[in-house]
């Protein structure tokens, strides 16, 4: 394979062929090592799916899937006859708490984004935007503490509302504060992506800044803003600690925000600390709820990506 | 007839806007500013609340005592603080090589169009959206029990948290690597260096500040997480310091959780103090990240 | 400059020109032609200057702009033509570092007076930009945007149709008014932007290099359109295309960059302002001549 014969002109022909040297085997080895690292992400997803599915399948051996999906009594940790695995209240509470959170996070988050993008001067933006970043860096346990020891006693009782020490309103409101920076940041990016020429055209027609923001910029950025909302919702649905600390341990199928409520993630955390045998259905319930939660967030994530792709406005 | 012409072609050619319109514009602007201020107000309230509740309990004793079930005056966070620091170190030892290697593979080696690359990328995107509690389940099933069977020990906690924040490290590292101009790579390759030599000697050093910032941010997130550690069964109360990676442990978020779950307000105050310690740690880390970014960030 | 001004019989500065007859109400009468030889001034630029962040871009701009005529601003790049035209409708307000000095007197009012609301200014003065910038909405909604924002009452369908007719676009789009504006070609998009500006029934239409991003055929159509529009509107156009300026405009202002008295900065200035025919065939300044004959820039 090695061409060492001299060429017709007299100079030796350079050997350009790929050689199996230690160096090139080393390069190949490195490539495979890097690939192995990259495959860890796939392994992680596979691991999540397997760890969830295995016990979930076992669980549905004990409890009928219909009873789980449509049952309206969720008392998995009760003994004897009163034990029931209908997940509807748990899912309802999860969505209810998320709903309260979004009621706060959406208007304040989108409002912040519009202000930062359309009204704030570059200097103001530089000072105010970090506040959002700081807020998003606060550990959730701190928010849980805040909800339990400040929002519930001081704010809510201070307003004269009759709420329990653990209540959905407190947990939901703080959940909204947690999610607000996510919505604001992604929405701000979406608004910023709208080209300046559109704003110029609108201003040139004599529109006020409010009209330009609401009638031209916001509609143009709509798909990105919706993606922000879906992202925020996804984050809120999976949040554990705030609900665990401030929302309570009971699952209530009720519309009364003064009641205690628990969401899927908080249940998983609480139940995994409880002393339960790994053979019983209670243990499997943790995984069944985990699967439900996982599927819900996966679905929301997929919707968010799809939505952005489908409705993104073409500017050019 | 076009009333625009009627209205405006009067003596005073350019008129002031109607008060209604002006009020609406002003109200709108104020409402938006209020939205933004809300975040600030809540942040301030939170800090004031925690400081007022917990500052009195902060002391050197607090940092060097083990937690106490009996006496809120003598309780402390030594075990939790040590646990958090160990977790952080172990986690970093995991996420840096794996995260950077993944980023290098995706940016420098992989064929962008191949199904494998796209599968990996979609995976990373999805993993970033999975709730932290599900990572806890993963850790419980595979690391604490199952194949690795380590039990609820430091290594298990570090790996679980590591898997949680790995997508962050990968995404940030990819951006940092991408920011290195191709002219640098071309120059190196033209001199006869191999691909890996180019990456190791030129690309990675160039991407280092961005990667370091990303790693610090990922670690900040990791040490603030409570849910995965709860699920894998880590202790919320420990009167000992972990000695090795296969020792049981507790960590700051868990200790805080334990304190504030107590109905006694004194213990809750200890929780507030512990929060202050955790926040101090996070402030130091993030300040370090910002310092790194400002000092070493290269504008290519 | 001052000799030129003495030669022309213009309105005395500050007077509000009344078109012959009672205050105008009907659109048709807006363009009522004054008697031969008498021109109405709609803008009087009085020592206007603009700087960005302290650095002067254009200075000492001082000339009138006449009603129902096309006034062209020509000159090499970077001499302040676009900067100046954006003063005429206070678009420079949108740039935080821009400072405007002097007076821009429009129908007797200084547009830069403290009591004037820039939003109101822009309702009377339309603008068309270099790169067509239709909104990502339907053709109908693009045209309707201005009148809606203005709070115009009346049959919107009729207003849209009128604007599209005046913009010479109606026949091409009348069957697809609900289609997205981005489906149109570049030339059509620009005519849409012109029609959009006309929909608010402005007094003046400012055009900042409206054809530079378009092909020659679209350019020709827009130039024809400008002639038609001249009947009802006053047009100010910035252009790099000298043939276009020569063909289309009544008055031409030539801008170029000059070294300041302090010998430190080069700022844009108007060197010559006169009837187009004179500027192109017999310019007074040698720099103008160099530019229009193609020797320079």
B97 shares its domain with B169: yes
Nearest to A256 by CA among A160, A172, A147, A155: A172
Q: Do A200 and C131 lie within an 8 Å CB cutoff?
A: no
Q: Report the alpha-carbon distance of residue B145 to residue A244 in Å, rounded.
A: 24
Q: Are residues B163 and B81 in the same domain?
A: yes
Q: What is the CATH number of the domain that holds B263?
A: 1.10.3720.10
Q: Mean pLDDT score of chain A, rounded to an integer?
A: 87
Binned at pLDDT 50, 70 and 90, residue C252 comes out as very high
Cβ distance B8 to C123 less than 8 Å, yes or no, reads yes
Is the domain of B85 the same as that of B130?
Answer: yes
Predicted confidence at residue B1, as pLDDT, reads 36
The answer to whether C125 touches C204, Cβ cutoff 8 Å, is yes
Task: Assess if residue B5 is contained within a domain.
Answer: no
Structure confidence by residue, pLDDT tens digits, B13-43: 566 667 777 888 899 999 999 999 998 999 9
Q: How many CB atoms lie within 10 A of CB A147?
A: 29
Query: B10 vs C23: CB contact, 8 Å cut-off?
Result: yes
Out of C96, C124, C149, the one facing A211 most closely (by C-beta) is C149
B20 touching C, CB under 8 A? no
| Complex prediction ipTM | 0.89
Q: Which pLDDT value is given to residue B5?
A: 41
Residue A8 lies in a domain: no
Residues 152-171 of B with CB under 8 A from C: none
Tell me the backbone φ, ψ of residue B170, rounded to 5 degrees: -60, -50
B34 touches chain A (CB under 8 A): yes
pLDDT interval class at A66 (50, 70, 90): confident
Q: How confident is the model at residue A314 (pLDDT cuts 50, 70, 90)?
A: low
Separation between Cα atoms, residue B153 and residue B144, nearest integer Å: 8
Shared-domain flag, residues B31 and B135: no
Q: Looking at residue B19, what is its pLDDT?
A: 75
Model confidence at B167: pLDDT above 90: yes
Average pLDDT over residues A174-183: 95
Instruction: Name the more confident of C17 and C162.
Output: C162
Say whether both B68 and B51 belong to one domain.
no
Tell me, yes or no, whether B153 and B109 share the same domain.
Answer: yes
Could you tell me if residue A87 is inside a domain? Answer: no
Residue B249 phi/psi, 5-degree rounding, is: -155, 170
Q: What is the pTM of this model?
A: 0.84
Segment A67-112, tens digit of pLDDT: 888 888 888 887 777 888 888 999 999 999 999 999 999 999 999 9
Per-residue model confidence (pLDDT) at position B191: 86
Q: With a cut of 90, say whether residue B139 has pLDDT above it.
A: yes
Within this chain, do residues B75 and B187 fall inside the same structural domain, yes or no?
yes
**Full residue range of the structural domain in which residue A103 is found:** 92-311
Q: Read off the pLDDT of residues A107-135 as tens digits, 9 standing for 90 and up.
A: 999 999 999 999 998 888 988 888 888 89
In this structure, the number of other CB atoms found within 10 A of the CB of residue A4 comes to 7
Cβ of residue A64 closer than 8 Å to a chain B Cβ: no
Tens of pLDDT, residue by residue over C273-288, are 999 999 999 888 888 8
Q: With 50 as the cut, is the pLDDT of residue A2 above it?
A: no
Does some domain include residue B151? yes
- Chains touching C, CB cut-off 8 Å, 3+ pairs: A, B
Same domain, B147 and B206: yes
Q: Which one is predicted more confidently, A195 or B264?
A: A195
Q: Does A124 touch chain B (CB under 8 A)?
A: no
- Residues of C whose CB is below 8 A from A315: 136
CA-based nearest residue in chain A for residue B165: A41
Q: How far apart are CA A261 and CA A276, in angstroms?
A: 22
> Which of A12-16, B54-58, B155-159, C38-42 is least confident?
A12-16
Total domains present in chain A: 1
Give domain status of residue A285, yes or no: yes
Query: Both B51 and B104 in a single domain?
Result: no
Which of these, A84, A288, A315, lies nearest to A199 by C-alpha position? A315
Reduce the DSSP state of residue C108 to 3 states and report it: coil
- Assigned domain for B7 exists: no
Closest CB from B5, B11, B16 relative to C120: B16
- B112 lies in some domain: yes
C16 band by pLDDT with thresholds 50, 70 and 90: very low
Tell me: pLDDT of A15 over 90. no
B46 with B145, same domain: the answer is: no
* B11 domain-assigned: no
CA dihedral C103, C106, C111, C114 (to 10 degrees): 90
Verify that B163 and B212 share a domain, yes or no.
yes
Which chain A residue has the Cα nearest residue C197?
A205
- pLDDT tops 60 at residue C9: no
Scan residues 92-121 of B and list those with Cβ closer than 8 Å to A: 97-98, 101-102, 104-106, 109-110, 119-120
In this prediction, residue A316 has a pLDDT band, given cuts at 50, 70 and 90, of: very low
Contacts of C94 in chain A (CB under 8 A): 199-200, 203
Total domain count, chain B: 2
Residues B101 and B177 in one domain: yes
Contacts of residue B280 in chain A, CB cutoff 8 Å? none
Residues of A in Cβ contact (< 8 Å) with C181: none
> In chain A, which residues have their Cβ closer than 8 Å to the Cβ of C213?
none
- A positions 10-29 inside 8 Å of B (CB): 23-24, 26-27
User: For chain C, which domains are there?
Assistant: 2-13+38-292 (3.40.50.300)
Query: In this structure, what CATH number is given to the domain that contains residue A225?
Result: 1.10.3720.10
Give the residue among C135, C213, C145 at the shortest CA–CA distance from C181.
C135
Q: Examine the pLDDT at C8 and tell me if it is beyond 50.
A: no
A205 touching chain B per CB within 8 A: no
- Residue A101 CB contacts under 8 Å (≥ 6 apart), including other chains: A172, A173, A175, A176, A178, A179, A236
Tell me which of A120, A195, A204, A223 to substitute to probe the interface with C (most C C-beta atoms closer than 10 Å).
Answer: A204
Mean pLDDT for all residues in chain B = 87
Q: How many Å apart are CA A141 and CA A147, to the nearest integer?
A: 10
Q: How many CB atoms lie within 10 A of CB C71?
A: 25
Question: Which spans in C35-95 are helix H?
Answer: 81-85
Dist. CA B65–CA C262, nearest whole Å: 74
The per-residue pLDDT for C17 is 41
| Nearest Cβ partner for A297 among B125, B129, B257 | B129
Q: Is residue A126 part of a domain?
A: yes
Question: Which pLDDT band holds residue C243 (cuts at 50, 70, 90)?
Answer: confident
C201–B4 C-beta distance less than 8 A: yes
Dihedral angle, C-alpha A302, A304, A306, A312, nearest 10 °: -170
Distance from the Cα of A208 to chain C's closest Cα (Å) equals: 6
List the single range of A12-26, A250-264, B93-107 with lowest mean pLDDT: A12-26
Given a contact cutoff of 8 angstroms between Cβ atoms, the answer to whether C213 and C131 are in contact is yes
Local confidence band at C38 (pLDDT 50, 70, 90 cut-offs): low
Enclosing domain of residue B39: 19-55
Q: What share of chain C is helix, strand, coil (3-state, %, to 5)?
A: 35, 25, 40
- The answer, yes or no, to whether residue A307 has pLDDT greater than 80, is no
A246 interface with B at CB cutoff 8 Å:
no
Over residues C51-65, the pLDDT tens digits come to 998 888 999 899 999
């Amino acid at each position: 394979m090695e061409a060492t014969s001299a060429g017709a002109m007299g100079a030796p022909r350079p050997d350009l062929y790929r050689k199996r040297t230690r160096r090139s085997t080393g390069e190949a080895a490195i490539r495979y090592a890097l690939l192995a690292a990259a495959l860890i992400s796939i392994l992680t997803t596979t691991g999540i799916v397997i760890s969830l599915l295995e016990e979930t399948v076992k669980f549905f051996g004990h409890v009928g899937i219909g009873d789980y999906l449509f049952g309206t009594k969720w008392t998995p940790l009760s003994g004897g006859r009163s034990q029931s695995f209908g997940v509807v209240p748990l899912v309802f509470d999860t969505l209810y708490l998320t709903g309260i959170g979004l009621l706060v996070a959406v208007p304040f988050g989108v409002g912040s984004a519009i202000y930062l993008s359309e009204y704030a001067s570059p200097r103001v933006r530089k000072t105010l935007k970090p506040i959002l970043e700081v807020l998003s860096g606060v550990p959730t346990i701190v928010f849980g503490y805040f909800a339990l020891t400040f929002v519930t006693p001081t704010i809510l009782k201070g307003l004269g509302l009759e709420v329990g020490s653990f209540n959905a309103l407190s947990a939901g409101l703080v959940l909204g504060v947690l999610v607000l920076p996510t919505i604001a940041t992604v929405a701000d990016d979406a608004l910023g992506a709208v080209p300046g020429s559109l704003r110029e055209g609108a201003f040139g027609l004599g529109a006020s800044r409010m009209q330009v923001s609401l009638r031209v910029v916001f509609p143009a950025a709509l798909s990105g803003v919706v993606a922000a909302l879906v992202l925020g919702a996804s984050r809120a649905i999976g949040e554990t600690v705030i609900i665990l600390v401030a929302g309570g341990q009971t699952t209530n199928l009720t519309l009364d925000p003064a009641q205690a409520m628990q969401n899927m993630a908080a249940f998983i955390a609480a139940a995994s600390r409880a002393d339960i045998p790994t053979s019983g259905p209670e243990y499997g319930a943790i995984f069944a709820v985990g699967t439900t939660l996982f599927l819900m967030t996966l679905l929301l994530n997929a919707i968010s990506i799809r939505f952005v792709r489908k409705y993104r406005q073409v500017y050019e | 007839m076009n009333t625009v012409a009627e209205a405006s072609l009067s003596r005073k050619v350019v008129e002031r806007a109607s008060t209604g319109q002006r009020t609406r514009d002003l109200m709108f602007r104020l409402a938006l500013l209020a939205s933004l201020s809300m975040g600030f107000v809540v942040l301030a309230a939170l800090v004031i609340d925690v400081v007022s509740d917990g500052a009195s309990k902060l002391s050197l004793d607090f940092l060097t005592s083990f937690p106490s079930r009996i006496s809120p005056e003598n309780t402390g966070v030594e075990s939790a603080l040590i646990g958090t620091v160990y977790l952080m170190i172990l986690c970093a030892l995991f996420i840096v090589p794996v995260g950077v290697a993944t980023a290098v593979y995706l940016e420098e080696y992989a064929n962008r169009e191949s199904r494998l690359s796209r599968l990996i990328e979609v995976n990373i995107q999805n993993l970033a959206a999975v709730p932290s509690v599900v990572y806890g389940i993963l850790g419980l099933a595979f690391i604490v029990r199952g194949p690795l069977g380590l039990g609820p020990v430091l290594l298990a906690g570090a790996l679980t948290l590591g898997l949680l924040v790995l997508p962050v490290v990968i995404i940030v590292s990819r951006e940092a690597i991408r920011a290195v101009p191709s002219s640098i790579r071309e120059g190196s390759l033209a001199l006869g260096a191999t691909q890996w030599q180019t990456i190791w000697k030129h690309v990675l050093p160039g991407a280092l500040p961005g990667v370091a910032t990303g790693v610090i941010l990922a670690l900040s997130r990791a040490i603030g997480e409570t849910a995965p550690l709860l699920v894998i069964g880590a202790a919320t109360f420990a009167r000992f310091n972990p000695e090795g990676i296969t020792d049981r442990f507790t960590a700051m978020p868990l200790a805080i959780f334990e304190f504030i779950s107590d109905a006694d307000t004194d213990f809750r105050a200890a929780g507030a103090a512990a929060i202050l310690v955790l926040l101090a740690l996070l402030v130091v880390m993030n300040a370090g990240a910002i310092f790194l970014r400002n000092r070493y960030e290269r504008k290519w | 400059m001052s000799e030129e001004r003495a030669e022309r019989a213009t309105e005395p500065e500050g007077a509000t020109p009344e078109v012959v007859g009672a205050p105008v109400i009907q659109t048709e009468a807006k363009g009522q032609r004054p008697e031969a030889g008498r021109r109405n001034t709609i803008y009087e630029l009085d020592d206007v200057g603009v700087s960005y962040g302290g650095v002067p871009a254009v200075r000492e701009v001082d000339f009138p702009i006449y009603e129902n005529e096309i006034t062209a601003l020509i000159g090499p790049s970077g001499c302040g033509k676009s900067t100046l035209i954006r003063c005429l409708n206070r678009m420079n307000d949108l740039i935080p570092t821009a400072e405007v000095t002097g007076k821009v007197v429009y129908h007797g009012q200084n547009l830069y007076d403290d009591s004037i609301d820039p939003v109101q200014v822009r309702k009377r003065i339309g603008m068309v930009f270099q790169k067509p910038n239709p909104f990502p909405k339907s053709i109908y909604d693009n045209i309707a945007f201005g009148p809606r924002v203005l709070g115009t009452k009346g049959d919107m369908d009729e207003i849209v149709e009128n604007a599209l007719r005046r913009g010479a676009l109606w026949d091409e789009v009348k069957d697809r008014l609900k289609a997205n504006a981005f489906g149109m070609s570049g030339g059509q998009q620009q005519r849409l932007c012109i029609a959009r500006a006309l929909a608010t029934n402005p007094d003046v239409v400012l055009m900042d290099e409206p054809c530079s991003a378009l092909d020659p055929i679209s350019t020709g159509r827009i130039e024809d359109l400008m002639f038609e529009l001249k009947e009802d509107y006053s047009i100010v156009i910035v252009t790099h295309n000298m043939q276009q300026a020569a063909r289309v405009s009544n008055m031409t202002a030539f801008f170029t960059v000059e070294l300041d008295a302090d010998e430190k900065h080069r700022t844009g200035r108007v060197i010559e302002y006169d009837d187009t025919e004179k500027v192109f065939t017999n310019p007074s300044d040698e720099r103008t001549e160099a530019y229009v004959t193609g020797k320079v820039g």
